[in-house]
Amino acid sequence: MRRGDFENHIRAIHGHGQGEIPNVRKFLLRAPDPNKQVGEASDEHNVTCMSFNAASPATSRPIAGNPFIRQGRLMDFDMMINDVEVTTVPDTGADVNAMTLDTLFQLQRSVVARKEEIGNIKLGNDTSVNALFRVSLRCCLPSIYGEPQEPFRADFHIFLKLASGVRAIVGYKFLEITQMLTSQAWRLKPRFNPGRHIPRCMSIGPVPSAGLRLKIFLDKNLFLALPDTGSEINLMSKACAVKNGLTIVRTVQEETREVEFADGQFEEIVEKVVVTVQAADCSEQTDLAVSDSKLSAAGEASGIQRSSSLLANQPSYKTKVSIAEEPILQTFYVIDKIAHDVILSQSLLHAMDAWNLHQSAFVYTDVQGFEKSMCTIFVRDSKGNNHPRETITQFKQREAFRQSEVAKKQKRLNRDIKRRAGDTERQTTLRQKLAELNQKDQAARVKFDEAVRAFTSP
């Protein structure tokens, strides 16, 4: 590509006019030492755990108070993995990096060290999927004008399949370290859209109650929304819409009818809400103490090694929130069960230039940062380590669903026992199944009660 064409390409992405093109060379990334994991402390680059290091903010501002300074777009980027170029989805809603097994087979030109097997991974639709295993792969951003880019290693969770057309997903921590949404954003390219396309929500990770959030006003109600560049549409849980008194209406025939999640599961969409969107201004900040555990859970889950020096002198903020922009209408599609109350799509975030113009509204939440009603339930693995699993609200909802499913099975077994009145052997078998079901149900109820008591005890 000629230099003039390349500069025009950058202007098109960032909305710069003639003569406003940023200096490309000052944005070139000096990657970490290849012997260090992404996120490990290094003298070669300085990373910030709590927020992105933005490039110079865009000079263009919203017209007439409109929070959207440009048309929203869906973007991917190319990356060299094991010396093979792979189109990758940048997903700020993901706590882990993910890859399909087929893609891994194509990349294994060099020896890849497999790590321990990984358990359940949370998806955007509040279900779980098993990762096959985790690998460490050699990564490198493509060079520009012959400038070499130093390789580094990153962990990827390997899945049998991901959403349609997706080979690899890189999560928030990877994007933060590489500055892919700020100073390196010129590397992003428009996502290929093959005609009739079912929108995807690729949020994936084990910590749904913690992570990056964006303070935003929807119909003048303040939300801590998940800014998810892996989602192609705005989503909202039905419980959230009802709780906040939003008007839910049916979708029309021409609108989106389904959404695909990271593992290829589909959810039907039949309802939506239309709300005003306003950016939050959190520029007034008060420093608070930060604990060393602030990022430990999400960092460990992402396969990113962080030293204690990265957490030193990192501020946490108590902010005064005010409305920054005039409202504009946006559609959020309503799903009965998703892992987050509100999910903001990549096109909405791109239209706002959220990573540069609204940095003050980003917060990184952990278990300690939530109110008691949203605190995380911990589960202990075989090695005695605590891992965040789900919020107390989600925990209670899950138990209620489990009990309803057990009740259905009990009803079905009792019905079958009555129908087999003349078959003593079959009745005995069914009664044994019913007794086992009741025993397991009682044990699960005891564990649930113990967990709730432990949570509510001072």
Q: What distance in Å separates the CA atoms of residue 154 and residue 363, rounded to the nearest whole number?
A: 24
User: pTM of the entire structure?
Assistant: 0.55
- 334 and 423 fall within a common domain: no
Of 130 and 215, more confident: 215
Residue 23 lies in a domain: yes
Average confidence (pLDDT) over 224-249: 88
Average confidence (pLDDT) over 63-86: 72
Average confidence (pLDDT) over 326-340: 83
Average pLDDT across the chain, whole number: 68
- 15 and 65 fall within a common domain: yes
- 70 and 180 fall within a common domain: yes
Please report the pLDDT score of residue 208 as a whole number: 53
- 186 and 248 fall within a common domain: no
Lowest-pLDDT choice from 38-52, 189-203, 318-332, 399-413: 38-52
Q: Domain ends where: 380, 404, 426?
A: 380
Please report the pLDDT score of residue 289 as a whole number: 32
Residue 267 lies in a domain: yes
Residue 200 lies in a domain: no
pLDDT at residue 458 is higher than 80? no
Average confidence (pLDDT) over 447-454: 74
Average confidence (pLDDT) over 283-288: 44
- 310 and 429 fall within a common domain: no
- 359 and 441 fall within a common domain: no
Q: Domain ends where: 193, 226, 246?
A: 193
Q: Domain ends where: 365, 380, 395?
A: 380
pLDDT at residue 329 is higher than 80? yes
pLDDT band at 236 (very low <50, low <70, confident <90, very high): very high
Residue 345 lies in a domain: yes
- Which residues form the domain of 440? 386-456
Please report the pLDDT score of residue 322 as a whole number: 58
What does residue 360 show for φ and ψ, rounded to 5 degrees? -65, -20
Residue 253 lies in a domain: yes
Average confidence (pLDDT) over 29-54: 33
pLDDT at residue 309 is higher than 80? no
- 181 and 239 fall within a common domain: no
- 423 and 352 fall within a common domain: no
Percent of the chain with pLDDT over 90: 3
Please report the pLDDT score of residue 405 as a whole number: 82
Q: pLDDT, tens digit, for every residue of 346-394?
A: 888 888 888 878 877 888 776 444 433 333 333 334 444 444 444 566 6
Residue 412 lies in a domain: yes
- 131 and 246 fall within a common domain: no
- 170 and 258 fall within a common domain: no
- 312 and 185 fall within a common domain: no
CATH number for the domain that contains residue 354: 2.40.70.10
Please report the pLDDT score of residue 387 as a whole number: 42
- 376 and 402 fall within a common domain: no
pLDDT at residue 332 is higher than 90? yes
Please report the pLDDT score of residue 351 as a whole number: 84
pLDDT at residue 285 is higher than 80? no
pLDDT band at 273 (very low <50, low <70, confident <90, very high): very high
Average confidence (pLDDT) over 69-80: 75
Of 238 and 383, more confident: 238
Q: Count up the domains in the chain and report the number.
A: 3
Residue 205 lies in a domain: no
Residues ≥6 apart with Cβ < 8 Å to 93: 124, 172, 201, 202, 203, 204, 205, 211, 226, 227, 228, 229, 230, 231, 343
Residue 176 lies in a domain: yes
